């Protein structure tokens, strides 16, 4: 799959010594085994050269960390992301109704103090049930998510799925794109759509819900209660035809109790959807949206140290993010080893057979 990436180096001039696919194999193998910096990747390669040579040529040995940095940083990030998405589509089968959460994450370490270049913002799609990142698009500003989301949706197979997005994605063009892909939508409504938000709040204020469901979670020292109310559309909503196939308004009343302090916080959140489902199903779908924070963004920071990374040369930050997601996907797909992702990385570092199993080699 990754052999389709366009070679960023000159092959006819200069000192071309290492195949691109060898470098990609080396980097992914090293990251799976716990490496993160270019020097660590080179060290891993030199210690595992005999093993790596079973799957790649490495005819000129292991490239230096400077070469690894230069090559990975020069790969077109859009091509790299497209290869990643194509690979995910081959290994993943999404079930009907599965929640695909879309959200952005700022790569904090990618900000360049010298040039003033802003930090990269990655917009990702995450399949909640499979626990896999399906694809991503990079942008330089959070506000650019509005244009990045349709581009991301174009690369995904979503027929029969339910797409959830926060308020930034509550745009008529995004709704059109989701419906074109054969998917349903549940979109958060906030002040960026002022007229819609007021209409939604008035609908909730002056009408009775047609269905209600309550869910209580008690975990990690807190008790969280979420009441989901579903409403028919009302006359308080203006220009509802702009929102393709819109059917229901959803209100979530959330209350969180911290056991250790007895502190209670309450909030109300509002959503629009075209999906025909029960309040219990909507409650579950909206809760599933947060899997992208807990099972993707948080893991990229905790397990892969992404926020602490200072990779800033050319496309290093974007491509490293893709590599981390490849590694995370491979670790999640390896089911025979009953251990956390952190423990799986340690096991791969000390046992090449486990590394080969994770890599499906």
Residues 94 and 68 in one domain: no
Half-sphere exposure for 182 (CA within 13 Å, toward CB) = 8
Residues 142 and 257 in one domain: yes
Chain centroid, CA 26 distance in Å: 23
Residues 49 and 87 in one domain: no
Report the candidate in 262, 215, 253, 255 with the shortest Cα–Cα distance to residue 231: 253
CA angle 299, 300, 304 (to 5 degrees): 105
Q: Please give the pLDDT value at position 302.
A: 83
Residues 239 and 290 in one domain: yes
CB 142 within 8 A of CB 106: yes
Q: Please give the pLDDT value at position 114.
A: 62
227 strand-pairing partners:
214, 253
Question: Would 312 be classed as within a structural domain?
Answer: no
Tokens of 60: 């000129």
Residues 221 and 119 in one domain: yes
Q: Please give the pLDDT value at position 113.
A: 64
Residues 191 and 235 in one domain: yes
Residues 116 and 177 in one domain: yes
Residues 47 and 112 in one domain: no
Q: Please give the pLDDT value at position 112.
A: 65
Chain centroid, CA 114 distance in Å: 29
Give residue 35's domain range.
2-75+321-358
- Note the pTM of the prediction, 2 decimals: 0.88
Find where tokens 């790569």 sit: 107
Residues 67 and 187 in one domain: no
Residues 162 and 274 in one domain: yes
Question: Would 306 be classed as within a structural domain?
Answer: no
Residues 125 and 264 in one domain: yes
pLDDT per residue, tens digit, the chain (361 aa), is 777 888 888 877 767 889 999 999 999 999 999 999 999 999 999 999 999 999 999 999 999 999 999 999 999 998 998 888 888 888 777 778 899 999 998 887 666 666 666 778 889 999 998 888 999 998 876 667 888 999 999 989 899 999 999 999 999 999 999 999 999 999 999 988 989 999 999 999 999 999 999 999 887 788 999 999 999 999 999 999 999 999 999 999 999 998 888 899 999 999 999 999 999 999 999 999 999 998 999 899 888 888 777 676 788 888 999 999 999 999 988 888 889 989 999 999 999 999 999 998 8
Q: How far is CA 236 from CA 124, 190, 204, in A?
A: 34, 16, 10
Question: Would 309 be classed as within a structural domain?
Answer: no
Q: How many domains does the chain have?
A: 2
Residues 19 and 64 in one domain: yes
Q: Please give the pLDDT value at position 55.
A: 94
The CATH number linked to 225 is: 3.90.350.10
Q: Phi/psi zone of residue 58: left (φ > 0), alpha (ψ -120 to 50 degrees), beta?
A: left
């Amino acid at each position: 799959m990754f052999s389709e990436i366009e070679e960023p180096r000159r092959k006819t001039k200069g000192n071309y010594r290492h195949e691109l696919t060898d470098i990609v194999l080396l980097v992914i193998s090293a990251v799976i085994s716990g490496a993160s910096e270019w020097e660590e990747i080179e060290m891993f390669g030199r210690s595992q050269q005999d093993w790596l040579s079973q799957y790649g040529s490495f005819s000129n040995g292991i490239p230096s960390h400077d070469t690894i940095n230069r090559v990975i940083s020069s790969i077109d990030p859009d091509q790299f992301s497209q290869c990643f998405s194509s690979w995910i589509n081959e290994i993943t089968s999404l079930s009907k109704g599965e929640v695909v959460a879309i959200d952005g994450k700022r790569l904090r370490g990618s900000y360049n103090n010298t040039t003033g270049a802003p930090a990269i913002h990655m917009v990702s799609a995450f399949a909640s049930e499979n626990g896999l990142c399906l694809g991503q698009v990079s942008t330089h500003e959070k506000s650019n998510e509005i244009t990045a989301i349709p581009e991301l949706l174009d690369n995904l197979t979503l027929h029969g799925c339910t797409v959830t997005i926060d308020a930034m994605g509550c745009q008529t063009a995004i709704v059109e794109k989701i419906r074109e892909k054969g998917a349903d939508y549940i979109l958060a409504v906030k002040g960026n759509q002022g007229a819609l938000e007021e209409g939604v709040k008035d609908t909730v204020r002056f009408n009775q819900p047609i269905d209600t469901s309550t869910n209580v979670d008690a975990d990690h020292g807190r008790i969280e209660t979420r009441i989901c109310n579903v409403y028919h559309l009302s006359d308080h909503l203006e220009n509802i035809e702009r929102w393709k196939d819109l059917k229901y308004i959803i209100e979530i009343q959330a209350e969180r109790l911290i056991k250790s302090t007895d502190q209670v916080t309450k909030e109300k959140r509002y959503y629009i959807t075209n999906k025909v489902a029960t309040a219990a199903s909507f409650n579950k779908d909206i809760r599933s949206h947060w899997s992208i924070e807990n099972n993707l963004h948080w893991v990229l920071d905790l397990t892969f140290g992404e926020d602490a990374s200072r990779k800033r040369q050319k496309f290093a930050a974007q491509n490293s993010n893709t590599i981390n997601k490849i590694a995370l996907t491979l670790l999640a797909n390896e089911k025979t080893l009953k251990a956390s992702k952190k423990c799986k990385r340690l096991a791969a570092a000390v046992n090449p057979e486990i590394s080969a199993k994770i890599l499906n080699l």
